Amino acid sequence: MANSLTNLMNTVAYRFTELTDVLKPHAAFLSAITINPVETEFKRVNDVVKLNIVGVDGSVVDHQQSTISTSNVSTTPTNIQLTKTPTKTFQIGTYEASRLADSPALLDESFKVIMTQFLEHINGVVAGLFTTANFDVSGNIIKTGTGDAADTLSHTEATQLWDVLATRKIPVTDSGNLFLVTHPKIYGKMLDDADFTKATSIGDAFASQMRTTGALMPVNGLLPLFDSQAPVSGTSPNLSYTSAAFHRRAVIAQFAPPEPPMNGLAYSYANMFGIPLLIVPNYDTNLGATGGAFNSFTVSTLWNAVVFRKDHAVLHVTPTT
């Protein structure tokens, strides 16, 4: 393969996309919400994207008892203003790494670091939305008390969270779209709780798999995940942890590809985790190590996230102990 800027840009875009699955553990909240990219249209900072919640008024009536009435389909728009533009520039510090477009392994470690930082930055914003102020529908579990028992999420409480969602008529049988995301400290105690892990409850095969991988089995359809960016309040060692049981539609993150540069620079687009990324190479003739090659890349996206359906999430908050 001939070395060229085009080949190098293709390699960069390809490696960002290919490494996505490797980095999912760094962004549990982001992986569990609805990501809604605008893929065919460039956007600018502060542009607004409208999402509609569809509703139908009226109720079903018995036609033998009443006259058929006509119901109206309406939409309630949710506006998402694209005010966030996370950006990261990283340098390709050697001649070989910057010129050998057919050797993507040379770039992998750099890309893993950059992608992790990108995902954690965006995931932290999403995680910060899961507060009792944003999800204030009656049903949140706010624990009280002290000691180790207060700093846990029990199987009984997980079932109570499911019960709240089911009572609200949230589709709790919607496999793959229901999650229970906790802080690693809470998740670790769940791993140590026989109610979540004993073979008599989940079967020998699943219990063995869980002890090997540390991946808890779904609880009443809720898939337990851990996220180090789950909301934590208080001052160490007196901390309160917020866990969230929710349907994917509770939060929507709206992404759009930024406009390409106007100064004639080369650029490429990649997709990471459903997130459109603009990649622009930067040229610096003063860095001799790269022989005057394109030696750094700037990666950016355009986005924002909103609470879309607040009744689709219920929170569990431990006391500050």
Give mean pLDDT, residues 306-310.
90
Residues present in the chain in total: 321
Same domain, 106 and 231: no
CA of residue 233 relative to chain centroid, distance: 21
- Which range has the top average pLDDT, 92-106, 163-177, 290-304? 163-177
Give mean pLDDT, residues 80-92.
87
Lowest mean pLDDT among 37-51, 63-77, 265-279: 63-77
Q: Which residue has the higher pLDDT, 315 or 212?
A: 315
Same domain, 43 and 147: no
Query: What per-residue confidence (pLDDT) applies to 211?
Result: 73
Same domain, 242 and 103: no
User: pLDDT tier at 20 (50, 70, 90 boundaries)?
Assistant: low
Query: What per-residue confidence (pLDDT) applies to 1?
Result: 42
Same domain, 238 and 222: yes
Alpha helices in the chain (DSSP H): 5-18, 28-32, 95-99, 105-127, 155-167, 184-191, 194-197, 199-202, 204-213
List C-alpha distances in Å: 248 to 25, 80, 123: 17, 17, 14
Q: Using one digit for the tens of pLDDT, what is the confidence trace for 162-213?
A: 999 999 999 999 988 999 999 999 999 999 888 887 766 666 777 777 777 7
Same domain, 79 and 172: no
Same domain, 27 and 120: yes
Is residue 79 included in any domain, yes or no? Answer: yes
Give 69: exposed, middle or buried? Use CB within 10 Å, 0-12, 13-18, 19+: exposed
Is residue 175 included in any domain, yes or no? Answer: yes
Is residue 273 included in any domain, yes or no? Answer: yes
* 254 pLDDT higher than 80: yes
Query: What per-residue confidence (pLDDT) applies to 115?
Result: 78
Query: What per-residue confidence (pLDDT) applies to 303?
Result: 94
Query: What per-residue confidence (pLDDT) applies to 58?
Result: 65
Same domain, 190 and 313: yes
- Which range has the top average pLDDT, 5-14, 84-93, 242-251, 275-284? 242-251
Q: Using one digit for the tens of pLDDT, what is the confidence trace for 256-272?
A: 999 998 877 788 888 88
Query: What per-residue confidence (pLDDT) applies to 178?
Result: 96
* 214 pLDDT higher than 70: yes
* 103 pLDDT higher than 60: no
The Cα 233–Cα 243 span in angstroms is 12
The Cα 92–Cα 249 span in angstroms is 39
Nearest to 159 by CA among 219, 226, 203: 219
Amino acid at 76: T
Give mean pLDDT, residues 215-237.
91
The Cα 139–Cα 313 span in angstroms is 10
List C-alpha distances in Å: 96 to 33, 42, 48, 105, 267: 39, 33, 43, 12, 21
Same domain, 40 and 178: no
Same domain, 158 and 195: yes
3-state DSSP assignment of residue 253:
strand
**What are the φ and ψ backbone dihedral angles of 249, each rounded to 5 degrees?**
-80, 0
Q: Using one digit for the tens of pLDDT, what is the confidence trace for 110-158?
A: 677 777 888 889 999 999 999 999 999 999 999 987 766 788 999 999 9
Query: What per-residue confidence (pLDDT) applies to 107?
Result: 60
Domain boundaries, position 266: 5-58+75-124+256-283
3-state DSSP helix/strand/coil % of the chain, to nearest 5? 35, 30, 40
Amino acid at 104: P
Q: How many CB atoms lie within 10 A of CB 181?
A: 27
Give mean pLDDT, residues 264-286.
79
Same domain, 167 and 82: no
Same domain, 260 and 118: yes
Mean model confidence pLDDT for the chain: 82
